[in-house]
Homo-oligomer: A and B are copies of this chain.
C-alpha cells in the first residue's frame, strides 16, 4: 500500500496558470490520488501560437481557446478557480487571492508565464499593444482594421500615410508572424475592399535592435526568414533601437541617428518579462530570480529549499545543457507539465523522482502564407515545406481542442479564398488616441 493511501485526505496540488504547463500538468494528473486546484485569471486556455491569427482576423477567439472548466468537466479531481493570486505563504502552505480568499496546498505548482515588457517604459503600452491574451489579440485586430478605415476617411494625404504605416517592434517569432500576416492582409485580403486608398501601398516595418531577425535561430535561417518576410513586402530594419512610442509614431535610433517613424499603429512583439508572481515567490521562499524575473529552479523544477514548490514553463529559469536554459517555448512548457505530474505521482508512491530532461523538438517560425523556417533535429529548411510542417504540427497540437476540425476548415477556407472572415471591429478602445 502506498504511503498516501493511509492519509485521510488526498494531497492538495495547487496549480497557478492555465497555460500549456499548468494545463498539461493538471491533465496528466487524471486519476491520480490528488486533489487539484487550477487557478487562472481567465476562464480559458489559449493556444498561444495562433494568437496572431486572431489579431489579424483569420481566426475567432473561440477557435483557439477552450474554457478550462470544459477541459476538466469529467476529471473530478480538478477544481478550476477563476481568481488572481497575490501572494504566497510557504510557512502556512497557502496561496492568497485578490478577493481575500486563500487556498492551501501540499504541492504548489506555479506556471504563471510571461507578460508584455516595454523595457521599463510602461507609458508606451497604450500606444503599442502586445500579444499575450485574447483581449490583447482583439485589441490588435480592432486597431489594425480601424487604421485602414481611418485612412479611407482621411482627406489629408500626409495623415492617410500615417494610418497606412504599421510598425511591428521586435523581430522574434511573434513580430515576424504579425508583420508577415499584416503584409498579406494589405496586399491580398483587403485589396478590393476600399475605394479611396490602395491598401497595397500600406507600409509595414519590422524593427529589431539585434543584427538579424529570429536572433535565437541559426544565422542561415534568420537570413532566410528575412528574405521571405521582405518578399511579402515588409521593410526590415535591424540594428534599430526603439527610444520612444507615442501617438505620433515610433522614435528610433540606428547608427547613432535618431529618427521618428510617423505611424498610427504600433504592435509590440519585442519584450516579455516574467509574471510578477515570480518575484513574489522569490521573496516568500528566498529563491533567486534572473534579470527577466524568472525563478531559478533545480533539475526537478523545484525551488531551492522548498521541495514541494515548483515553477514550470516560461517562468522557470532552468539549466538545460552547458550554458543554455530550457527555452520559453510551448513544447518545453508541455514537457514541464507532464514531467511534474509524473513527479507528483512518484512522490506519493514513495518512488524516486528522476530529473527533468528537456527534449528539443526543434524550432519552427511562420512568416505568412507558405512562408516559414524550420530547424528540426538539425534539419534546416524554409519556405513552403517549413510552412507545411508548421501547419501540421500546430493542427496536431490543437488535438485537445474540440473545434480543431472547425479551425482546419476555417483555415483552408482562408487559404484558398484569401479571406479573413473574422475581421470584425469590436470592443472599445483602450487608448483615446487610437482610431474610433
B65–A424 touching, CB < 8 Å: yes
Selected interface stretch from A113-121, A188-196, A262-270:
A188-196
Tell me the bound Cα distance from A405 to B417 in angstroms.
Answer: 15
Given A60-B60, A60-B61, A62-B60, verify A402-B422 contact (CB < 8 Å): no
A67 to B142, CA, bound (A): 13
A42, B406: Cβ atoms closer than 8 Å: no
Considering only residues 36-70 of chain A, those with a C-beta below 8 Å from chain B are 42-44, 60-63, 65-67, 69-70
The distance from the CB of A104 to the nearest CB of chain B, in whole angstroms, is: 15
Please tell me if the beta carbons of B409 and A421 are within 8 angstroms of each other in the complex.
Answer: no
A410 close to B (CB within 8 Å): yes
Smallest beta-carbon distance A57→chain B, Å = 8
Determine whether A363 belongs to the interface, using a CB cutoff of 8 Å to chain B: no
With A and B bound together, what is the CA distance between A405 and B410 in angstroms? 10
Q: Of B83, B149, B402, B421, which contacts A82 at CB under 8 A?
A: B149
- A12 interfacial by beta-carbon distance below 8 Å: no
**A196 / chain B contacts, CB cutoff of 8 Å:** 79
How extensive is the interface on chain A, given as a class?
A: 35 or more
Q: Which of A59-98 contact B (CB under 8 A)?
A: 60-63, 65-67, 69-70, 73-74, 79-83
Footprint of B on A, CB under 8 Å?
42-44, 60-63, 65-67, 69-70, 73-74, 79-83, 99, 101, 134-135, 138, 145, 149, 152-153, 155, 190, 192-196, 402-403, 405-406, 409-410, 413, 417, 419, 421-428
Sample 20 A-B pairs with CB under 8 A, ordered by A number. Answer: A43-B145, A43-B424, A44-B425, A60-B61, A62-B421, A65-B424, A67-B193, A67-B424, A69-B190, A70-B193, A70-B419, A81-B153, A134-B424, A135-B427, A402-B413, A402-B421, A403-B421, A406-B406, A409-B409, A427-B427
